[in-house]
Chain A
Amino acid sequence: MRFPFPPILIYALRRLLQAVPVVILIMIGTFLLLKLAPGDTVDALVGDMGGADADFIARLRAEYGLDQPVWVQLWRYMTKLATFDFGWSFVYEQPVSTVLMDRLGTTLLLMATSLSIAFTVGTALGAIAARRAYSATDNLISVLGLVFYATPSFFLSLMMMLLFSVKLGWLPVGGIKTIAGFYTGWDHVIDVAKHLIMPTAALSLIYLSFYLRLMRASVLEVADLDYVRTARAKGAGEMRLMIHHIMRNALLPVVTLLGLQFSTVLGGSVVVETIFTLPGLGQLAYQAVVQRDMNTLMGIIFLCALIVVVVNFLTDLLYARLDSRIELA
C-alpha cells in the first residue's frame, strides 16, 4: 500500500513520537528533583509572607494538593507542565513561564551565533587541516584546537575582557546593550552585536575545537574512499572534489555532533551569560540556584530540554536530507 504522505513527513513524525517518552521521563525527573529539594511551595510561600500558624499552613498544603499521594501530585505536575505552567516564582513575583519567556530570546540569539561560528569555522579549519595533513598548517591548526579545547570558557572570557575591554577599551564588558543608549534601527543591531562578540567567542571556541577535530578525521577517512578516487580519475579538480564529493559525506558525523552537543552548549551558556551579565536563561539558572528558586530552576530545565529535543529533531531532518542512504519510511 502506498502512503499518501511524502516519506520525509512520516520520518519526522516517527522521530517526534520517539521524543515523547524522553520528555515524559524529564517531567518525572524534575518532579523528583523538586521533591528532593529541601522545602516545598508552601514553605517558600510562608517564608515569603514572613511566617504563619500551623493550621493555616496545613490548609495551604491542602489547597496546593501537597497532602495528596505522590502519584496524584506527579500527575498534576505533569499536566501543568504540558500546558507550560511552571508555577510561581517567589523571587520574581511572576509566573515562571513569564520570567522564562523574557529571557529566552537572548539565550537563543547567543546559541545561534555561537553554534554557527563554531560550526562554520570549525569545519572549514578541519577540512583545511585534513587536506594538508601532517604539514605545518595542519600542526598549527591541531595545536590551536587542543588549546581551545583545554581553555575553560570563564578563563577565556576573563582574558578577553582584560585585553579588549580593560587594556584596549574596544568592547563593552557586559550586558546585551548600552543601558542609556536608546539606540534604534541599525544602531541598535550594531550595539547588540558589539555586546555579543566576546560571549560568542567564549562559548564557541571550545565547540569549534570539537568540530575541527571531528571534521579533520572525517575528511581524512572519506578522502580515501573509492568514489573519491574515481572522481579524481575522471579529472575533478581539488576544489570541486572537496566541495562536491568529500564535504557532503564528511559533514555527516559533524552534523550528528551538532545535535548531541547542543545541550552542552546550553549548559555552557550559564557561565558565559553570568560573566557577561547577559539577561538569558543561563544567568537566570545561576541566580535561581543562588536564590534557591526551585520552580524557576525546574522550568529552565524543562524548557532547555524541550529546546534540545527540537534541535535534535531538526538535525535529524538535516541528516536525512544530507544522507540519501537513510531509509525515511
Chain B
Amino acid sequence: MTSLDTDLSPAEPPRLVVFWRRYRRNRAALLGLAIFVLVVLMALTAGIVDPDDPLRRAGVPLTPPFTDWSTPLGTDQLGRDVLSGVFYGARISLLIGVVATLVAIAIGVVIGALAGYFGGWVDDVLMRVTEAFQTIPNFVLLLTLVAILGSKIEWITLAIGIVSWTAPARMVRAEFMSLRGREFVDAARNLGVSNTAIIFKEILPNALPPIVVYASVIMALSILLESALAFLALGDPNYASWGNMIGQGRAVLRSAPYCAVIPGIAIVLTVLSFSLLGEGLNDALNPRQKKQ
C-alpha cells in the first residue's frame, strides 16, 4: 500500500497546477470563480448571519434598505429580512442546483452510455425516449411533475433532474459512439473485461470532460427552473428562495421595488458565475478545442 502511495502522489499536484494555470488564463472565468465562491460563502454563513428562521418577522414591514442596521437590506411587506432571505436563498439555490445536476447527469450518463455503447435497437429505443422528453416543453413537464408529486423540496429537485437529462444523454452517447471503436476498448474486450466494466471503467472516464463542462450549464438552468417555479408560488413554501422573494416582491413593485430587485440581482450573478465557470473549465479541460 505504502509503495503504491509514494508512486502515485508526485503525479497529482502537477495536474492540478496545470489545470489552474490553464483556467486562470481566462480572466472572465476568474471573475466567475470569485462570484461563485461568494455565493458558496453566503450559503455557508447563512446560519451565522441570521441564526433564526429567515421567514419570520424581523422588523417593521417595508423598511427601505440601508435605514435600519438590524435589517440592512430592508424588509418585505411581511417584515421579513431581505438580507437573510438572500443568504438562505443561496443555500436553497445551490442545493437544488447541485443535486438536480447530479440526478440529470446520472440519468443522462446511463442512458447515453447504453445507447452509444450498444447501438442497434437499444440505441433506437433510448433515442426515441430521449426525443420524446425533448419534445415536451421542459417547464410544462416540470409543472406537471410538481402537480403530481407535490411541492416538497426533494420532489422539486428530482423533477428538475428528470426534465434536464436529455442534453447530457446525447453528449455521452456521442462520446461513447466515437470511443467504442478505439484500440483500448478492443484491448479490454479481448482481455475478457465485462461490458459494465468497459462502460464505466474504460470509456466513461474518457468521456467525462465535456460532461463536466456541461454540468455548469445544467446547474445554471436548474437554478433558473427552481426560481421560476418558486416565482409562480409552486416551490416549497417552507424555505426562503430567491424566486419566491421576487414573486412576493411583485405585489409591492410600485412602492418597494428593492424587494424584487435584490434577489433578482442575486440570481443573475449566480447564473452568470456558472456560465463563466463553464468557459474556464472548458479552456482548462479541453485545451485543444477552439484555439483562435
Q: Bound pair: A and B?
A: yes
- The answer to whether A266 touches B264, judged by C-beta atoms less than 8 angstroms apart, is no
- The answer to whether B143 touches A263, judged by C-beta atoms less than 8 angstroms apart, is no
The yes or no answer to A31 lying at the interface (CB within 8 A) is: no
- The answer to whether B264 touches A159, judged by C-beta atoms less than 8 angstroms apart, is yes
Task: Knowing A162-B253, A162-B257 are in contact, say whether A268-B134 is a contact too (CB < 8 A).
Answer: no
Q: C-beta contact mask, B226-239 vs A, less than 8 Å → 1, else 0?
A: 01100110100000
9-residue interface stretch from B8-16, B73-81, B96-104, B124-132: B124-132
- The answer to whether B232 touches A286, judged by C-beta atoms less than 8 angstroms apart, is yes
Task: Return chain A residues, CB-CB under 8 Å to B143.
Answer: 270, 285-286, 289, 297
- The answer to whether B134 touches A25, judged by C-beta atoms less than 8 angstroms apart, is no
- The answer to whether B292 touches A220, judged by C-beta atoms less than 8 angstroms apart, is yes
Task: Knowing A25-B128, A286-B232 are in contact, say whether A267-B139 is a contact too (CB < 8 A).
Answer: yes
Task: Return chain B residues, CB-CB under 8 Å to A29.
Answer: 132, 136
Give the docked Cα–Cα distance between A312 and B134 (Å).
Answer: 11
- The answer to whether B137 touches A147, judged by C-beta atoms less than 8 angstroms apart, is no
Give the docked Cα–Cα distance between A161 and B257 (Å).
Answer: 11
Q: Which residues in window 249-268 of B have CB below 8 A to A?
A: 249-250, 253-254, 257, 260-261, 264, 267-268
Q: Which residues in window 1-53 of A have CB below 8 A to B?
A: 21-22, 25-26, 29, 33, 36-38
Task: Knowing A25-B128, A36-B148, A297-B144 are in contact, say whether A158-B264 is a contact too (CB < 8 A).
Answer: yes
Give the docked Cα–Cα distance between A261 and B292 (Å).
Answer: 28
Task: Return chain A residues, CB-CB under 8 Å to B246.
Answer: 154-155, 158
Give the docked Cα–Cα distance between A292 and B234 (Å).
Answer: 13
- The answer to whether A266 touches B257, judged by C-beta atoms less than 8 angstroms apart, is no
Task: Return chain B residues, CB-CB under 8 Å to A153.
Answer: 228
Q: C-beta contact mask, B106-139 vs A, less than 8 Å → 1, else 0?
A: 0000000000000000000000110110111111
Number of A residues contacting the other chain (C-beta, 8 Å)? 50
Give the docked Cα–Cα distance between A305 and B260 (Å).
Answer: 34
- The answer to whether A150 touches B275, judged by C-beta atoms less than 8 angstroms apart, is yes
The yes or no answer to A308 lying at the interface (CB within 8 A) is: yes
- The answer to whether A154 touches B231, judged by C-beta atoms less than 8 angstroms apart, is yes
Task: Return chain B residues, CB-CB under 8 Å to A260.
Answer: 134
The yes or no answer to B271 lying at the interface (CB within 8 A) is: yes
Partner of A22, one of B131, B141, B146, B267: B131
The yes or no answer to B240 lying at the interface (CB within 8 A) is: no
Task: Return chain A residues, CB-CB under 8 Å to B90.
Answer: none
- The answer to whether A263 touches B138, judged by C-beta atoms less than 8 angstroms apart, is yes
Least CB distance, A155 to chain B, in whole angstroms: 4
- The answer to whether B136 touches A26, judged by C-beta atoms less than 8 angstroms apart, is yes
Q: C-beta contact mask, A250-283 vs B, less than 8 Å → 1, else 0?
A: 0000000000100110111011001000000010
Give the docked Cα–Cα distance between A312 and B148 (Å).
Answer: 29
Give the docked Cα–Cα distance between A290 and B147 (Å).
Answer: 8
- The answer to whether A152 touches B224, judged by C-beta atoms less than 8 angstroms apart, is yes
Q: Which residues in window 263-292 of B have CB below 8 A to A?
A: 264, 267-272, 275-276, 290, 292
Least CB distance, B111 to chain A, in whole angstroms: 14
Please indicate which of the listed interface residues B139, B140, B276 has the most CB atoms of chain A within 10 Å of its own CB: B140
- The answer to whether A166 touches B253, judged by C-beta atoms less than 8 angstroms apart, is yes
Q: Offer 7 A-B interface pairs, CB within 8 angstroms, sorted by A.
A: A150-B268, A150-B271, A151-B271, A263-B138, A271-B228, A271-B231, A305-B132
* Chain B residues in the interface with A (C-beta under 8 A): 128-129, 131-132, 134-144, 146-148, 220, 224, 227-228, 231-232, 234, 243, 246-247, 249-250, 253-254, 257, 260-261, 264, 267-272, 275-276, 290, 292
